[in-house]
Chain A
Amino acid sequence: MLLEQIIPLAIAQEEWFWLFGGLFCLIPLVWFIVGILLCIWVYRDAERRGMNGVLWLIIVLIAGIIGLIIYLIVRKDKGSGQAAPPPPPS
């Protein structure tokens, strides 16, 4: 009963509605920012390892955490994408 009274009242009073709506909008916003930071990290990490950064960025964007796990499994070891160091002088 109490809830049934409070919620329509909160929606009817616009400031309550916007306060609540604003707080609720914060949640997807935070997860969205986390997702964007993750995509930037995957792109930069893939490029650093000599892999196709754009391709992995798209895969992680589409597949989310599953794409990220696949990336972590298949990514090359650090330095394998760079040129081999020169041989030591004999």
Chain B
Amino acid sequence: MTLVEEIISLFNFIGSLVCHRRPDRTLWIGGHYLPVCARDTGAFVGLLLGYVMLLFLRRKEAKGPPNLYVSLIMMLPLWVDSFGQLFGLWTSTNYLRLITGLLFGVALAPMLVYALSLSPLKGRIPLIRKIEPETAVLDNKNSWFDAKALCISIALSVILFTAIIAVTGSEFPLFYWTLSIPIIAGIVWHFFVLPPLLLIVALRKLFRKK
């Protein structure tokens, strides 16, 4: 087995820890199946896009939560599509799974960062602290990531979705690596780095109080 094949099998192993990886629900890009299914691909790529959007479009002086109405509109399709399929109302398609995952991920990133900044862990999580709001006030109407920023994120999600479906089925390996590396980074960060960090920071805070 070559080094490249070993890396791909490592990616597949990491993907299988968090995803079913059913071949019929996983996208085939660059001559390989992606490490996670279409919906998770959308969610992890969307999360990454959401963080990038936060870097450029957040309103640093604002204190209110990300626009809740637009966030809800972005997250609801994944929920409806998943539950509709779960209860046998319809069978989703990979493209529908991908776009609902993308929209969910893009909306989740600002919610996650804002939620962390409301908790006692504000300013203590590496990387996240650089994009957190300076002061978070849940009742404040001045949105830290407003409707305009979310709409731009939706537009970029649609462009990204179009790009992904355009390369689905291709045999050019670059497309596989362009997508699978951010996906694996997203899995490692959200499942293997962030939860232990949360736990360590919370325990340190707890023991310092005592």
Q: Which of A's residues lie within 8 Å of B, judged by CB?
A: 1-4, 7, 24, 26-27, 30-31, 34, 63, 65-66, 69-70, 72-73, 77-78
CA gap between A66 and B129 in the complex, in Å: 24
A69 engages B195 (CB within 8 Å): no
A69 engages B68 (CB within 8 Å): yes
Helix, strand, loop or mixed for chain A's interface? Answer: helix
Whole-angstrom distance between the Cβ of B199 and the nearest chain A Cβ: 5
B192 engages A7 (CB within 8 Å): no
Q: In the complex, which residues of chain A have a beta carbon less than 8 angstroms from the beta carbon of B75?
A: 65-66, 69
Q: Which of B's residues lie within 8 Å of A, judged by CB?
A: 1, 6, 9-10, 13, 17, 65, 68-69, 71-72, 75-76, 79, 108, 111, 138-139, 191-192, 195-196, 198-199
B192 engages A73 (CB within 8 Å): no
B198 engages A30 (CB within 8 Å): yes
Contact A66/B195 with A1-B6, A3-B6 known, Cβ cut-off 8 Å:
no
Contact A72/B138 with A2-B6, A65-B111 known, Cβ cut-off 8 Å:
yes
Contact A78/B139 with A3-B9, A31-B195, A72-B65 known, Cβ cut-off 8 Å:
yes
CA gap between A70 and B108 in the complex, in Å: 14
* Leading 8 A-B pairs by shortest Cβ distance: A30-B195, A1-B1, A69-B72, A27-B195, A73-B68, A3-B9, A66-B79, A27-B191
Whole-angstrom distance between the Cβ of A31 and the nearest chain B Cβ: 6
Helix, strand, loop or mixed for chain B's interface? Answer: helix
B198 in complex: contacting residue of A7, A34, A73, CB < 8 Å: A34
CA gap between A1 and B10 in the complex, in Å: 10
Which residue of chain A is the closest to B199 with respect to CB atoms?
Answer: A30
A72 engages B195 (CB within 8 Å): no
CA gap between A27 and B76 in the complex, in Å: 25
Q: In the complex, which residues of chain A have a beta carbon less than 8 angstroms from the beta carbon of B199?
A: 26, 30
Q: List 22 A-B contacts (CB under 8 A).
A: A1-B1, A2-B6, A3-B6, A3-B9, A3-B10, A3-B13, A7-B13, A26-B195, A27-B192, A27-B195, A30-B195, A30-B196, A30-B199, A31-B195, A65-B75, A65-B108, A66-B79, A69-B71, A69-B72, A69-B75, A72-B138, A73-B69
